[in-house]
Amino acid sequence: MGQNITLTASDGHQLDAYLANPAGDAKGRLVVVQEIFGVNSHIRDVCDGYAERGYVALAPAMFDRLEKNFECGYDAEGVAAGRELKGRCPWPEAALDIEAARAHLAGDGTVAIVGYCWGGSLAWLGATEGGYCAAVGYYGGQIIELNDRQPQCPVLLHFGELDGGIPLSDVDKIAATHPEVTIHVYEGADHGFNCDQRGSYNEASAKLALGRTLEHFASVFG
């Protein structure tokens, strides 16, 4: 369903991206932001899933500045490799690459953003930078670091109750600072509960979160 395209950031950096288009008229346009594992088969599946539901979905390769064509699995080696790259990807450069994806879609209408894991934090960053009509973040562990920033669009956040990397105290702080943000915590769900390639996949929570995500987008795209 999808195809690989090339984006150009405002500083001249060129990066790959995976673009999935719906079969008919688009309901809306989404920037889909990867986990630390790259634009791998799961993220491509996520994009394809949004396209099947009527959305244009574009996933920029956020690690292209550091390592072209990076993809990895969910084992310990993959986690270590992804974390190492994430640690060398500062917020300002990540923001440029997300903006390149948004700008590519913006000519066709308004754009929303959705991200997973590291991408969940980047979706929050994008929401605070402006230019989006809506944002959704799945288990973004670094949102707490950006909690002093104010979203410029409606935001929906998903967290797992059992996520050891994101204390519920952090979720409470985000909720207290941003009462306008809709936050859901999924009972019995761990980090990565949306990814059906991970041992932490929780089908019930993933389906519920997707339904809420689609409702959130429908409320702004009409």
Catalytic sites, residue numbers: 117, 163, 191
Taken in order 96, 101, 107, 111, the sign of the CA dihedral is: negative
Query: Using an 8 Å Cβ cutoff, are 141 and 165 in contact?
Result: yes
- Bridge-based pairing of strands 55-60 and 111-116 is unpaired
Alpha helices in the chain (DSSP H): 41-52, 76-87, 91-106, 118-129, 168-177, 203-221
Smallest CA-to-CA distance from 137 within 148, 145, 150, 126 is with 126
Smallest CA-to-CA distance from 49 within 134, 109, 114, 143 is with 114
Task: Name every residue whose Cβ is closer than 8 Å to that of residue 87 and which is 6 or more positions away in sequence.
Answer: none
Smallest CA-to-CA distance from 22 within 52, 43, 66 is with 52
